[in-house]
Amino acid sequence: MPPVSWHEDVVLTRRTLSRRGFLYGTSAAAAAGAFNFRDLMSAQAADLRKQGRAMILLFMQGGPSQLETFDPKPGTETGGPTTAIGTAVPGIQIAEGWEQTAKQMQDVAILRSLTNKEGQHERAVYQLHTGYIPSGSIKHPSLGCNIARELSPADRELPAVVSIGNGRAAGTGGSGAGFLGVDYEPFHVQNPGTLPENVATAVNESRFKRRLGLLDRLEGDFALRGGEAVVESHRRITDKSAKLVLSPLTRTFDFSQESAATRESYGNTEFGRGCLLARRLVESGVTFVEVRLGNWDTHQDNFDAVKGLARQCDPALAALIADLKQRGLFDKTLIVWTGEFGRTPRINPRTGRDHWPRNFNALLAGGGIKGGQVIGETSKDGTSLTKDPVSVPDLFCSICKSLNVNPAKENMSPIGRPMKIVDGGQPVEGLFA
């Protein structure tokens, strides 16, 4: 068999060829007499890629300062010592420290007018993930899990949703599948660049397969003794896990095939490796990837702290855009950069900034977003919104529009209450113009 390139291999897995499509294609090709097997695969692959939309969320946990990122106010009291730099798009300025991102500005839309009411971390993180306010009685699915449910094929080897660098412990509320159930629960990766925990078998592969065979046969008795349903659902999950463990796609987690130049471009940081892994996962057919970067809660030493964070985030973000473009994945992959809220324009006595949900910013790129523009505007000192306010549901509707997901679709919660993917809101039309 001729060596199939890695790239083709992964594109094919995103939407598994249906049997019918395959047969139809074969006979049509045979009739035409012009196509060989690989041509057919490539034709299908292009078609499949068309549908294969994906999203990468870069979540800045703690609440990034809008004034030190994409809405600087140089020369004002609130703006502090931060200066602004020009970008590839004339007229658009962002804060110093984001030089790499500035070079990609033609592909990036800045949203300066996000506005919300919640200024408490956990509640706001929950809201920026689910679109809903937390409630003890219902666990809302994250938008990412909703998207995966809408877009991701049922038969897949890799998980539909992957979350990178996001501690599994308490405090990560809102990023789970909620009432959508285990099929869409995010798969957590702690150390990007290495195989995730428990994916490598504890014994050699042939013994692992042998064990699976024994397990399968030993399940039979319990099934006969009344455990039928339990055995059946357990088998489904065991199969899925085994598929992942044995899948050649696990090499997605291994960076050894990436050139040194590519790896370097993302930066030698945890977050940089997370972004590189995000690209590899999307390429392998994963629908939603979140990469988190923490420590944005800059109540003190805001300016130095953000500089340090920008040094990690800026190259990774810019490299991700460039890399996706180069691989032809950019148009189908939406990148969203945001945090749970912004920070006070007023600088506190410890040269910090406090929580500020009233106006904060986000970046959107790829996925059909029109780059090189700024949406929304804040007053000269940054203390109020002066143009085009965008609520969290508006942002979510815009994401849905980019990914071709119907935000008004309802899923049933366990108590039989239908919940829309996004409750209210309107897409920001300017993003797509």
Partner 1 sequence: MVRRPNLQTGLIFAVICGTALTVSAANRGRSAGTSPPHAAQVAAEVDQLILADLQKNGVKPVDRCNDADFVRRVTLDITGQLPSPRDVTIFALDPEPNKRAVVIEQLLRSPEYGKNWARYWRDVIYMPATENRARIAQSEFEVWMADRLNSARGWDQTVTAMLTATGDVQEHPETALLIAQGAQAPEIAAEASRIFLGIQMQCANCHDHPSDIWKRNQFHELAAYFPRIAIRQMQQPISFEIASVNSDRGRGDFMRENPERFISMNDRNNDGKLTREELRSRAPAGMPPQFLDRIFELGDSNKDGALNLAELKSLPMPDQSRRGSTEHYMPDLNDPSSKGKLVEPKFFVDGSTPGHGLSDDDRRAAVAKAFTSPDNPWFARAIVNRMWCEFLGEGFYMPVDDLGPTRAARFPEAIDALAAGFVANHYDLKWLVRSIANSQTYQRRVAPKSSAEDALPFASVTPTRLRGDVVFNSLMQVLGIDEENAGGPRGAMMMGGPRAYQRTPRFQFDVLFGVDPSVPKDDITGNVPQSLFLMNTNSFRTALSGTNTNTRLGRILRENRDDRDALSEVYLLVLSREPSNHEVEICEGYLKDVGQRTEAFEDVMWSLLNSSEFLSKR
Residues of this chain that bind partner 1 (CB under 8 A): 122-123, 134-139, 159, 168-171, 173, 181-182, 185, 187-188, 197-202, 207-208, 210-211, 214-215, 217-222, 225-231, 233-238, 240-242, 244-245, 299, 348-350, 354, 414-417
Q: Which is nearer to partner 1, 2 or 416 (CB)?
A: 416
Instruction: Provide, rounded to whole angstroms, the least separation between the CB of residue 150 and partner 1.
Output: 20
Q: Which is nearer to partner 1, 227 or 328 (CB)?
A: 227
Q: Is 306 helix (H, G, I), strand (E, B) or coil?
A: helix
Q: Which is nearer to partner 1, 266 or 341 (CB)?
A: 341
At position 314, the amino acid (one-letter code) is D
State the CB neighbour count (10 A cutoff) for residue 203.
10
Instruction: Provide, rounded to whole angstroms, the least separation between the CB of residue 237 and partner 1.
Output: 5
Instruction: Provide, rounded to whole angstroms, the least separation between the CB of residue 214 and partner 1.
Output: 5
Instruction: Provide, rounded to whole angstroms, the least separation between the CB of residue 53 and partner 1.
Output: 23
Question: By the 8 A CB rule, do 242 and 226 touch?
Answer: no
Strands 342-343 and 54-60, how do they pair? Answer: unpaired
Cα 125 from Cα 123, distance rounded (Å): 6
Q: Which is nearer to partner 1, 37 or 222 (CB)?
A: 222
Instruction: Provide, rounded to whole angstroms, the least separation between the CB of residue 198 and partner 1.
Output: 4
Q: Which is nearer to partner 1, 30 or 237 (CB)?
A: 237
Cα 195 from Cα 189, distance rounded (Å): 8
Q: Which is nearer to partner 1, 388 or 423 (CB)?
A: 423
Q: Which is nearer to partner 1, 234 or 251 (CB)?
A: 234
| Side-chain half-sphere exposure of 147, counting CA atoms within 13 A | 32
Contacts of 266 (CB under 8 A, 6+ apart): 272, 273, 275, 276, 315, 316, 319, 320, 323
At position 236, the amino acid (one-letter code) is R
Strand partners for 306: none
Instruction: Provide, rounded to whole angstroms, the least separation between the CB of residue 428 and partner 1.
Output: 22
Strands 288-293 and 161-164, how do they pair? Answer: parallel
Instruction: Provide, rounded to whole angstroms, the least separation between the CB of residue 167 and partner 1.
Output: 9
Q: Is 342 helix (H, G, I), strand (E, B) or coil?
A: strand
Q: Which is nearer to partner 1, 187 or 432 (CB)?
A: 187
CA-based nearest residue to 406, from 397, 418, 417, 414 = 397
For the residues of 121-136, what is the DSSP string, one character each? Answer: HHHHHHHHHHSS--BT
Strands 360-366 and 108-114, how do they pair? Answer: antiparallel
Instruction: Provide, rounded to whole angstroms, the least separation between the CB of residue 236 and partner 1.
Output: 8
